[in-house]
Amino acid sequence: MIFFVFSYNRGPHLKNCIESIETCAAGHRVIVYDDASDDPETQQILRDIETRHEVRRRDDKGSGDQHGALYTNMQRAIESIEDDCLICFLQDDTQLVRKIDEQDLQFMEDYFEKFPNGGFLAPVFQKRITRQRTLDRFVYYEDRGVYVCEHRSRKQVAGVYYSDISVIRSDRLKAVNWKFVPGEFENEQQAKENFLEMGYLYAPFAMWLPNPPAYRNKKKSFTFMLAEIVNKAGLYPFRIMDNSMVRKLRTRPAGQVPIAEDYLDVTVEGLKSPWIYDPLRRYRTLRKLAKIEAFLKRIGTSKNSGRAS
């Protein structure tokens, strides 16, 4: 399996992600795509990683997309693969949480062999903060051996057919002439047109780190920065699951959707539960303040545009 890791200016998180792969998937190929990080600490960590793995840097900095060049780099990644193989897409704020063994690899290979229109597999746990929504939507498909998110609303969502953090076969993407486009919703629609619903692994092996520092179009609004301070955004790595916890994960009833907080521990004390992945999520006041700030910004942009005309 090839691990593609996409990074931007979160050096300590990237270091943790790479070390988790080295611990949990030793011997597998790792390629890092960096989105022109200009943080000195991240640049030094990239140089260190480059002594052990391949690092591909983006030189052009013109993208205005809120995801930077993520999807451009994901496309470059799949176009660089000549052999047909399993690939796993990760980002710097994710990590592997347990060893990937032959049982995992065989299941994924068999899944793609059994289902010619099977697309993306999600290797992640579910979040407790959205637990009720998860329990309402996630159903275990015994014939596929995976969970499927049965989203019945007409509201546009991602995560039913596609996720940026996923596993797929490279030849499966090539067969449908897949082209990553900016936006998770847009890639969700493309996956819907080509593949079965995304399968969420019965025994996940990866997860987003809780409460990471984040970027919006490589810039942070005042409210977003305030929320990160209030919530103490930082690096909260997971402990690698021991054999007893992996056994618990693999022997639970299929109707019990795997929630991250039920199986994972962070190495830093004091992190509030349920874990959050967006600093605006925990406090309603901050969300309201963010809406006001966005509204005022739109007014300012409109006035400036009017003067220019």
Q: What is the pLDDT of residues 146-180, one digit of tens each?
A: 999 987 655 666 689 999 999 999 999 999 999 99
Global pTM? 0.89
Calpha distance 301→299 (Å, rounded): 5
- Between 214 and 209, where is the model more confident? 209
309 has a pLDDT exceeding 60: no
62 has a pLDDT exceeding 70: no
**Is residue 252 in some structural domain?**
no
Q: What is the CATH number of the domain that holds 52?
A: 3.90.550.10
Q: Which of 207, 212, 203, 213 is nearest to 260 (CA)?
A: 207
**Is residue 212 in some structural domain?**
no
Calpha distance 209→132 (Å, rounded): 21
Calpha distance 304→302 (Å, rounded): 6
119-129 average pLDDT score? 95
9 has a pLDDT exceeding 60: yes
pLDDT-derived band at 130, boundaries 50, 70, 90: confident
Calpha distance 208→217 (Å, rounded): 20
pLDDT in tens, 75-99: 999 999 988 999 999 999 999 999 9
35 has a pLDDT exceeding 50: yes
**Is residue 142 in some structural domain?**
yes
Count structural domains, the chain: 1
- Residue whose tokens read 């179009």: 217
CB atoms within 10 A of CB 148: 18
pLDDT-derived band at 66, boundaries 50, 70, 90: very low
CA distances from 161 to 79, 93, 157, 241 (A): 21, 22, 10, 28
**Is residue 162 in some structural domain?**
yes
In sign, the C-alpha dihedral spanning 199, 202, 206, 207 is: positive
Which pLDDT belongs to residue 220?
Answer: 77
**Is residue 279 in some structural domain?**
no
286-290 average pLDDT score? 81
Which pLDDT belongs to residue 168?
Answer: 97
Helices marked H in 57-216:
70-79, 102-114, 131-137, 170-175, 184-194
**Is residue 226 in some structural domain?**
no
In sign, the C-alpha dihedral spanning 125, 131, 137, 143 is: positive
Tokens coding 250:
């693999």
Q: 53 φ, ψ to 5°? A: -135, 170
Q: CB of 211 within 8 A of CB of 233?
A: yes
278 has a pLDDT exceeding 90: no
**Is residue 190 in some structural domain?**
yes
- Domain residue limits at 100: 2-206
Which pLDDT belongs to residue 308?
Answer: 56
185 has a pLDDT exceeding 80: yes
**Is residue 264 in some structural domain?**
no
